Structure 1
Amino acid sequence: MLQLLLDLFADAADARAPVAPMLPVSPERETAAVSNASGQPESSAQAATLKIADGPAIDLNDALLPAQFEHPRANRTIRFSHAHVAYEFKRGKRRTIGFQVGADGLTVSAPRWTPLGEVDAALREKERWIVTKLREARERHARLEAARIEWREGAEIPFLGEPVVLVIDPRQRHGRGGAVLVPGDAALPGVPTMALHIGLPQTASAEQLRDTAQAWLMRQARRLFTERLDHFAPQLGVRWQKLSLSSADTRWGSASADGSIRLNWRLIHFRQPVIDYVVVHELAHLREMNHSPRFWQHVEDILPDYAERREQLKGELVPRW
């Protein structure tokens, strides 16, 4: 029977070993510093268009109805030409007015002495940027919610870019708490061609189903990542020493000069070409602990289409657990 739980993290790497810049997950928030304490703009407003997923770019001037955005801790509002924005306003020890757009909405920070009129002027200076980022954040949140997994029999999870249906199977040969991938019916269009049979009773809770599926995915991640590290390391002329699995929300991977590699196990949801890009990226850091032109040349030597794969990685949507 396959081991249920993985050893997620190996012994900590030597704290003195240099660590390469980590490969980040797509950012959750955008920030901008837009004016100085006197209210003079530090940079001009950025003209922007809104790109809806799988749709055309839309100029904000084409919007017919004002959008509504409200931060859960909103204490001020502003009415733009195409949006009404309730935002969180904070004062502190800073020299500029700054904007931050995240999952909750817009947060504005200003020096303690800045008049509210200058804050409003700065907001209007960056109206297009703010509204665009708020719309993008809302769209991203909607996509994330659509990707949330409902842990029940018949639910689907992505594995190497393909949907896998979950089947509760108390009789499956790997026993209680185990899981095994079984080919599905490829002849039926729209039906996943793989099923993950999980050895749990029909009365199993959603948490039990989730934990067993996650343990299986992590085993597959360690197996595949090890295989790909072994495949690409000789091509780069490097040796990796240790693989750790990460569950970080903001990083896909990192590398240390002592040969330690850390990869996010959630990469197993994605297609192998995308996984290979992250693996090569981290191995290349064993040659160059930076993102210099020499570093990217090492990556390109192995993956001539790395730029395309990098964009594919940015577009991947991580399922919500």
Structure 2
Amino acid sequence: MRGLLQFTLDLFDAPVPPPAPPAPAESAAPPAIFLADATSPASFIHPRATRELTLGNARVAYEFTRGKRRTIGFIVGAEGLTVRAPRWVALRDVDAAVKEKSGWILRKLAETQQRHAKLEATRIDWRDGVSFPFLGEPVVVRLDPHHGFEGVGAMLDPGVGAQTRTLRLALANNASPAQIRDAAQAWLMRQARRIFTERLDHFAPRLGVSWNKLTLSNASTRWGSARVDGAIRLHWRLVHFRLPVIDYVVAHELAHLRVMDHSARFWETVETVVPDYDDLRQQLKEQPVPKW
């Protein structure tokens, strides 16, 4: 910053002699960040892009489709921006609409890019010593080929104090990543069924409802669902979250057995058993789930 400021002042003042070179440091200096790199425009390129615009200082290449619709629509997803327009709208009007919405589009593209980066940072590299969250706390995987753990194939050490807990898998030391992943998933799904059953039994009487069937889900868009006949579906990967977050989802689905919509009455029902449901709901949205 000092160098840049000095350069700016030099445009108006008489030249000054360059400063004496600094004394050599014991360790190498960090690499320089060039101004061109720091100010390079952002790029958001959809893999199926057919049109491209410059919005502010950003290059945005978006997927464009036409269809039976009355208005121009914008969708920002994991791949980028998709614009859908009626068949009769001219391309110049489509571009004008994109520019008019540029503030919203750029904000959503940046947010999506940040979420993707966070998600990639949580990707699990399945090997001996890898860790993943269980009930909000890290668990380290260790391969232990000498034990069968009473036929279940895995055992979680109790841990002492703040010590990270260890999940011991009955696998050979040369087990493949797929074998390690499958063994860990089998253990997590057993824990999910046990924990979900306990929490369903805890909240159901408090809400005055009865449930009769629990199914572990692997849905891509829903954490849970409920049917009027008392059948509950919960995503097994909820066990990555803290127990209060799980409680919110469980109470949410059980509340649907009383109110089958998301009206004010529904949220009031949830609040009777989970008063801080709004904060927990936000945590569920914001906290990235480990990528398998």
TM-score tier, shorter chain, comes to 0.7 to 0.9
Tell me what 1:76 maps to.
Answer: 51
Structure 2 residue 77 is matched with structure 1 residue 106: no
The CA deviation at 1:93 is: 2.1
**CA separation of 1:177/1:237 partners in 2, compared to 1, >3 Å: closer, same or farther?**
closer
Tell me what 2:222 maps to.
Answer: 251
Q: Separation in 1 of the partners of 2:131 and 2:117?
A: 18
The CA deviation at 1:233 is: 0.8
The CA deviation at 1:290 is: 1.2
Aligned with 1:196: secondary structure? strand
Structure 2: gaps of 5 or more residues: 1-37
Identity of aligned residues (%): 63
Q: 1:42-67: per-residue Cα shift (whole Å, max 9, x none)?
A: xxxxxxxxxxxxxxxxxxxxx95421
Tell me what 2:107 maps to.
Answer: 132
Structure 2 residue 209 is matched with structure 1 residue 238: yes
Q: Is the 8 A contact 1:243 1:263 kept in 2?
A: yes
Q: 1:195-237: per-residue Cα shift (whole Å, max 9, x none)?
A: 0000011111100000000000000000000001111111111
Q: Separation in 1 of the partners of 2:257 and 2:225?
A: 10
Aligned with 1:317: secondary structure? coil
Tell me what 1:53 maps to.
Answer: none
Aligned with 2:141: secondary structure? strand
Mean Cα deviation higher: 169-178 or 67-76? 169-178
Tell me what 1:268 maps to.
Answer: 239
> What is the one-letter code of the residue matched to 1:253?
G
Structure 2 residue 269 is matched with structure 1 residue 293: no
Aligned with 2:72: secondary structure? strand
1:1-321 superposed matches below 5 A: 64-174=39-149, 178-184=153-159, 186=161, 193-321=164-292
Structure 1: gaps of 5 or more residues: 1-62
Aligned with 1:119: secondary structure? helix
The CA deviation at 1:152 is: 0.3
**CA separation of 1:200/1:175 partners in 2, compared to 1, >3 Å: closer, same or farther?**
farther
Q: 1:20-46: per-residue Cα shift (whole Å, max 9, x none)?
A: xxxxxxxxxxxxxxxxxxxxxxxxxxx
Q: Separation in 1 of the partners of 2:255 and 2:113?
A: 35
Q: State the 4+ residue runs in structure 1 displaced beyond 4 angstroms.
A: 184-187
Tell me what 1:30 maps to.
Answer: none
Q: How many residues align?
A: 255
> What is the one-letter code of the residue matched to 1:84?
R
Higher strand proportion? 1
Normalised by the size of structure 1, how large is the TM-score?
0.76
Higher helix proportion? 2
Normalised by the size of structure 2, how large is the TM-score?
0.84
**RMSD after superposition:** 1.6
Q: Separation in 1 of the partners of 2:150 and 2:142?
A: 14
The CA deviation at 1:183 is: 3.4
Q: Is the 8 A contact 1:170 1:176 kept in 2?
A: no
The CA deviation at 1:81 is: 1.6
Mean Cα deviation higher: 306-315 or 277-286? 306-315
Aligned with 1:290: secondary structure? coil
| Higher RCO (C-alpha 8 Å, min separation 6) | 1
> What is the one-letter code of the residue matched to 1:251?
R
Q: Is the 8 A contact 1:177 1:212 kept in 2?
A: no
